[in-house]
Amino acid sequence: MKKKFLLGVFTLLSALLCLENVYANSSWGWVDKRPFDLLPLVIIITLTIEVLMTINCLDEKKWIIVITVITLANLVSFAAPYIYIQGFGAEVGYTFKECLDNIPTYNVCFIYLLMTVIIELPIVYGILKSYTQNKTKLFKRIILANTITTVLVFIIERIFCSGSY
């Protein structure tokens, strides 16, 4: 029984973490807006929500430090998909602009949430934990803030961005 359970967990994790994108001679294109075009709006919304949620669980309200740390973490997090698609696109001869226009890999999904938490949590928690007595609350609040903002970005993308093959 335990062996079957472990095999099932391993299979599920393998399916989630070892995904390969395959593009046969397709011609994907964004119909109206690309997710990249919405980045300024998404950044403002994300930073506002994450700063407000994080600052409220700190004992010392260090606004400048919190804004700086969360901005830094988000810059790293927002850049990661573009670095990934540039690396992926470079393998098949696409420029950065062609990657944004022709490859539908940026869409926010569960993997993006996982990546965001993996990137941002160590940065934000690692720096801000010294400003609170309740480290568990800070840890959970960072994950909650990232979940909320990722879901909002997911909804914004689905409303304003559409593409087809």
The 10s digit of each residue's pLDDT in 88-113 is: 655 566 676 776 676 655 566 777 88
Domain ranges of the chain: 47-160
**Tens digit of pLDDT for each residue in 7-46?**
676 676 666 566 555 555 455 566 777 777 888 888 899 9
User: What is the rounded CA–CA span in Å between residue 37 and residue 41?
Assistant: 9
How far, in whole angstroms, is CA 131 from its chain's centroid?
Answer: 25
92: DSSP letter: T
